Amino acid sequence: MEQAINFYELKTQLADLGFKEPAIVDQLRESITTDYDYASLYTDRDQARIQINLDKDYLGNFHFMTYDAIITDNGKLRDQVFAPDVPVDEAVQLLKDRLNRLDVTAAIAGTPMNRQHVRVSLGLSPNETNINQLKIENMNTQNLEFLTKSLLNLGFGEQVNKALEKNIEKELPDFTLVAKHEFNQQQVNYTLHFKAGENKDMYFFNKFDATLHKGQDKEQTQSFYINKGNGITAKEAFNLMEGRAVHKQLFNKDGEKYHAWLQLDDQNLTQSGNKEFKRYNENYGFDLEALLKNKGIKELATPEGTESLYRSLKKGNAQQITVDRNGEEKKYFIAASPQFKTVDLYDHQMKKIKREELLKPEQKQAKNQKQGKQQKEGLPVKKQGSKRKISVS
């Protein structure tokens, strides 16, 4: 039901901006049902190629964040990121007007423009004397809105919003903000790095440093980089530093998207002392769904429980599961282990136990019943894998 509501709301929002093509609706319907944290919809409008960017929140609902538009003509290329209030026809018109202009920097093109700013750029403002000031005000407003939404989606909530606004007003070349969280009774401190663009008319959230405190005089620090408001979340950073793997959408050198499991490499460090990432893409052969299928896990009995369990594991969490053992419910914690193409199994105190405990209850019970029947009939219990040769004279 929640997916149906999410689909209807996004479909209406896209249609209001002029995205009414059946192909867009079909792509949206397919994207809503995926387990990925991000989704993209594609369409063409006039001479422009459009990419609509959807992000999933912690509740599993997708949100329309921005859309990218690119136009080419006689070897010229213009592109721009737009906020989700800009009609597609106005976005295309803006790019057409820019084909003969050279004053649009990459920083401007990469920062989402809202509708008011687009209309000013198209000369639709009734008060020409205030255009430049309005451009600055609009840029600051949309820049702040984009940054606060990015911080929210990355799991930092609203705890730095006031400090962020004050620092942007100061027009500093760069600044840092601090945030903190506590996961599993362990504190994580974050230092968020912001840097002004070339013309100091907008700021970018480039990276954050996470420091995990593991007791007195024990701490670990790792830097995580942000790309257009997307990247490792605050909770995922904690999970990675705990040694678990996270499933993310990434980009190759050609800008093409792919999905992979990420895990910090304790053996290899960058020049700055940061741990390298180990990547296990879809061709590596780790299939989490196939691995957990038919293991008697009660959370997989319903579509909602299945979606929730897999989403949590892909975020790097050690997730609690319930397994029926001969009529008795037992609870365990599991975490994805893509490197070894398996899952790690823990007891209620988070101590590792043998993965064989996940043997399907029905299989174990059937095996015990068969052995009991053989013993009752006076027959020897057959050992698995053993063979006896019988000679006939």
* Best-predicted range by mean pLDDT (190-194, 253-257, 268-272, 298-302): 190-194
Tens of pLDDT along 311-358? 999 999 999 999 887 778 889 999 999 999 999 999 888 888 887 666
Exposure of 251 in the CB half-sphere (CA atoms within 13 A)? 12
Ordered by start, the domain boundaries in the chain are 2-124, 157-240, 243-393
CB atoms within 10 A of CB 115: 18
Both structure tokens of 352: 């590792």
pLDDT at 386 over 60: no
Q: Collect all residues with Cβ–Cβ distance below 8 Å to 125 and sequence separation of at least 6.
A: 119, 131, 134
Residue with the larger pLDDT of the pair 130 and 295? 295
Residue with the larger pLDDT of the pair 73 and 135? 73
Closest among 126, 205, 115 to 167, alpha carbons compared: 205
Both structure tokens of 94: 């803006």
Parallel, antiparallel or unpaired: strands 319-325 and 275-281: unpaired
Give the DSSP H/E element, type plus range, for residue 322.
strand 319-325
Q: What is the mean pLDDT of the chain?
A: 82
DSSP for 187-241, written as a single string? EEEEEEEEEE-TTSS-EEEEEEEEEEE-STT-EEEEEEE-BTTBS--HHHHHHHH
pLDDT at 45 over 50: yes
State the pTM of this model: 0.64
Q: How many residues does the chain have?
A: 393
What is the C-alpha separation between 275 and 224, in angstroms, rounded? Answer: 10
Both structure tokens of 73: 């003509």
Identify the weakest region by mean pLDDT among 114-123, 225-234, 308-317, 365-374.
365-374
Taking each helix axis from N to C terminus, what angle separates 22-32 and 2-16, rounded to the nearest 10 degrees?
150
What is the C-alpha separation between 53 and 40, in angstroms, rounded? Answer: 5
Identify the weakest region by mean pLDDT among 21-30, 41-50, 90-99, 110-119.
110-119
What is the C-alpha separation between 387 and 226, in angstroms, rounded? Answer: 60
Under DSSP, is residue 30 helix (H, G, I), strand (E, B) or coil?
Answer: helix
CB atoms within 10 A of CB 162: 10
Q: With pLDDT > 90 as the criterion, what percentage of the chain qualifies?
A: 44
Taking each helix axis from N to C terminus, what angle separates 131-153 and 161-169, rounded to the nearest 10 degrees?
150
Tens of pLDDT along 165-191? 999 888 889 999 999 999 988 999 999
